[in-house]
Homo-oligomer: A and B are copies of this chain.
Amino acid sequence: MIWNTNLRWRLPVTCLLLQVALVVLFGVFVRYDLNADPHWIGSQRNENTTSDMENEFYYRYPSFQDVHVMIFVGFGFLMTFLQRYGYSSVGFNFLLAAFGIQWALLMQGWFHSYKEGYIHLGVENLINADFCVGSVCVAFGAVLGKVSPVQLLIMTLFQVTLFSVNEFILLSLLEVKDAGGSMTIHTFGAYFGLTVTWILYRPSLHQSKERQSSVYHSDLFAMIGTLFLWMYWPSFNSAVSKHGDAQHRAAINTYCSLAACVLTSVALSSALHKKGKLDMVHIQNATLAGGVAVGTAAEMMLMPYGSLIVGFICGIVSTLGFVYLTPFLESRLRIQDTCGIHNLHGLPGIIGAIVGAVTASCANAKVYGIKGLANFFGFDGFKTSWDSSMQGKFQAAGLFVSLAIALVGGIIVGVILKLPFWGQPADENCFEDSVYWEMPEELKSTVLHPEDSTLKPAEP
């Protein structure tokens, strides 16, 4: 089979069509939220003050910028660990995220911010769009190196859509709490991505085996991604929590969980190596699992020690996953998970959903205060008959819904991406920038093995 990886028309046409459609849809549907409208004055928000400081912007903007860094630098650089795929890791992540946030503003807007015929945009929409794209970045980790940018745009188009439907079911229908997205972002993103890569299974991928490893400096670039994800994760989990104590608590819990996770990841990484040496893959990834796993419960009364326990467990589970589960998934289940997202987002996401369900089940007036309980869980009005136990059950239901939509959606999208005209690379040219990028002189001659005759683009 001759693979045509020449994107000269496919990529530009895809980008331009999508962008034109977005411009039209924004023109028809999108306006500013009251907080970003010149008609706004402080007193409209809170009768006791006329201060501009009450504008939602000041509550959320610093967290938004941190989340923004996580999506573009965090995920982008985390994936530069591959020796010959740095341009693509950063560049394709940039491309898919830039498209995804626009489409997410629309999709999430229709579900959550649609009033009087218009979507009203404010800073919270920007954060939620970044969150939605975060789940696409997770899925990208599974297929990294094996798909073309056109495939990534198509995947983003569908995944953002499915994400928004799933999020609507969870947050609006089931009234699940999931501020840090253990379910909506991580579990959904991971199992969606794993399903897609399962459908796209490449039996001869070993042909590009040597490029699936890192070189010294590519690992340092990846650490930039790891650290920005790790440092800003408290902002991620608190960014859309309720103002005040909930946002504050979410940051503290995430900080604690992540710190504990580093120690157990290091411990396991050393213990599982026959000479006790550390593996950069674990340091780059497993240390982050603690942030994923408090995504649901961080804003709840998880308590600092509870957060430490969650981080403790996830560092262990995630590192074990990298050592034992990833090879098993590849050899037995034909799931080729380039970045090991199952260990960083899949398992910890499920743990996070369970922790969230249990923590919600245990909520009571003693811990939260009566007003706190009403304010935080909304146990009033339509939900008067509800209680913590119900909330816990609905939380658990949210996990299963997320998994179901991820699996079904992943199969459908995987099949679409398997169509042979998206410009995907041949097995022996996976994990290789030169397929899609103009390379510096130094590398032009060394890029391809002489025997890679199949790479020759089938120019008409």
A interface residues with partner B (beta carbon < 8 Å): 6-13, 15-16, 18-20, 22-23, 26-27, 30-33, 35-42, 46, 48-59, 61-63, 65-66, 68-69, 72-73, 76-77, 80, 83, 86-87, 90-91, 94-95, 98-99, 101-102, 105, 121-123, 126, 149, 210, 213-217, 219-221, 223-224, 227-228, 230-232, 234-235, 243-249, 251-252, 255-256, 258-260, 262-264, 266-268, 270-271, 273-280, 283, 287, 301, 303-305, 308-309, 312, 367-369, 371-373, 375-376, 436-443, 457, 459
Q: Which residues of B contact A301 (CB under 8 A)?
A: 32, 38
Question: Are B55 and A54 neighbours in the complex by a CB distance under 8 Å?
Answer: no
In the bound complex, do residue A91 and residue B283 qualify as a contact, i.e. CB atoms below 8 Å apart? Answer: yes
A12-B72 contact, Cβ under 8 Å, with A35-B248, A259-B101: no
A81 and chain B: residue at smallest CB distance:
B440
In the bound complex, CA of A288 to CA of B87 (Å)? 17
In the bound complex, CA of A384 to CA of B242 (Å): 43
User: What residues of B have a CB within 8 angstroms of the CB of A65 in the complex?
Assistant: 62, 66, 231-232, 234-235
| Contact yes or no, A304 B248, CB < 8 A | no
Bound-state CA distance A246–B39 (Å) is 10
Contacts of A251 in B (CB 8 A): 57, 61, 123, 126
Q: Please give me the residue from chain B that is nearest to A119 by CB atom.
A: B304
Partner of A102, one of B260, B271, B369, B441: B260
Task: Provide the bound-state CA to CA distance between A77 and B220, in Å.
Answer: 9
Contact in complex: B287, A94 (CB < 8 Å): yes
Which one of B98, B149, B246, B270 lies within 8 Å of A8 (CB-CB)? B270
* Residue of A126, A245, A262 with most partner-chain B CB within 10 A: A245
